[in-house]
Structure 1
């Protein structure tokens, strides 16, 4: 069934996500800070329109979706006279696909509830390729009723979605995801580096071990480009450091011990210092292959 929705933020993830919603027949109004991107999106998708502010985009929408950069970016498009809250009505649903702090998710849940609006924190995993192919994983926090009412929307661009618990639980689950990725990428970097130093054919090594217990998404999707020294195929180091900062701040609150995550975060800081902030996360290997 077609719905009136708004999508705020047309970056590498949001642009194709909004496109999947439009292609599914939903009347999709978009807003992007750079208006030229919104114009291009509307030219590409038949069921799309764009507005000049988040408030205007949200006015006729029953569901508003966000996918922007960080906590401050979310606040900038949600609050104020031109924010989505100013254009939404009681009973509407706000879904935030941005990876943010759990603290912000709880803040928005309360602010939305005060306005009679339902809120779901819903960070995603799967990268740009997952967004383009409609194969994202979505981890949500909030109330069951709100989740049940937007399942059909989530199905447009995800292969897996699950309500993880109360508000903030989606963001906490995404933190677990990023902890896993950080450790796996560092391990893969060291393994490929070791293979090269040992005089092995690294491509053959990967072909063999990827069929056993060492297999991982990172190995299947990034090992070949890591071997070639190509690092423009995925999630940027700058964004990973943002995410790991959120993880480490949350760990200070809940008492989790994350020595490997903290170390890998420092390694990513070195990649940034070397000018690799826009490299994808597999660029950790550049610190080893000197």
Structure 2
């Protein structure tokens, strides 16, 4: 409990993770976000500092969580010229939670090691509410001995967790998780869209799906929203496109073709091009139901 904690990236997920650790008695000392107003408001709520530089965050805590949007943002906060998190970072532990490529995680791991710091992956397969309630499912990678140093903290944040292996390995598994989830979501949208076009009662179809080989986790989480056209964002179509792209890139490194993933990626990229990228991933149904978006 003596470890102090800071956060870089305090959108919905990062902010709720910070709140959870504060509730569990950890000293959250600093936050930083490109949205300076959001960072200032969270800092006031938690009674900590809203930092204006990355080096200031590193100086303020023993353990720094990062929750950023993409590889470019990750590279900027760790490897950017001038101000970055690895300034005077000796002994610090960075826990990186965003869905990013395995390559950038390995790059940051090596840079942290050179700076005398430590980098862990803690890839999340959960929602915003899970972060607030300490019910995340986390996939972790890096040095297992470093993981053990922060394990009590991680346990307060998660209902379950799995240590995968060395740097980049958790990111690989998270890419697989999101690839399959996105494919299932696209398949469900096509099934419901075809059922609607055939004039079937969609509540009946959803019940039949739930009792047969068409059942899936996304049937439970997304099917009602697809029917009702309620796409409030929990996991955006833009993020789905990005994550399917990560899986595609990983497949290329091992010479593997993933035609279903490629088709799903194209669908989510189409959503983005139509200005629908901010919808939840369930919004892919807008592409498959007759009379909705073409």
Specify the TM-score bucket, using the shorter chain as the normaliser.
over 0.9
Separation of aligned partners in 2, 1:148 and 1:198: 55
Q: TM-score, normalised by structure 2?
A: 0.92
Q: What does 1:66-105 correspond to in 2, within 5 Å?
A: 66-79=66-79, 80-89=81-90, 91-105=91-105
Separation of aligned partners in 2, 1:117 and 1:193: 51
Separation of aligned partners in 2, 1:239 and 1:137: 18
Separation of aligned partners in 1, 2:195 and 2:234: 23
1:220 matched residue in structure 2: 220
Q: Which runs of 5+ in 1 are unaligned?
A: none
Compare 56-65 and 194-203 and name the one that shifted more: 194-203
Q: Which runs of 5+ in 2 are unaligned?
A: none
Name the SS of the counterpart of 1:231 in structure 2.
coil
CA-to-partner distance for each residue in 1:263-287, whole Å, 9 max, x for gaps?
Answer: 1111112222222111111111111
CA change 1:153–1:22 in 2 (3 A) is same
TM-superposed CA distance for 1:87, in Å, is: 4.0
Q: What does 1:1-290 correspond to in 2, within 5 Å?
A: 1-28=1-28, 29-46=30-47, 48-79=48-79, 80-89=81-90, 91-290=91-290
Q: TM-score, normalised by structure 1?
A: 0.93
Separation of aligned partners in 1, 2:219 and 2:129: 16
Compare 225-234 and 151-160 and name the one that shifted more: 151-160
Separation of aligned partners in 2, 1:205 and 1:65: 43
TM-superposed CA distance for 1:244, in Å, is: 1.6
The RMSD of aligned alpha carbons is 1.7
TM-superposed CA distance for 1:212, in Å, is: 4.6
Contact 1:2/1:25, CA 8 A, preserved across alignment: no
CA-to-partner distance for each residue in 1:129-183, whole Å, 9 max, x for gaps?
Answer: 3323332221122111011111122223222221111100011011101111121
Contact 2:237/2:284, CA 8 A, preserved across alignment: no
CA-to-partner distance for each residue in 1:106-135, whole Å, 9 max, x for gaps?
Answer: 111111111221111222111323323332
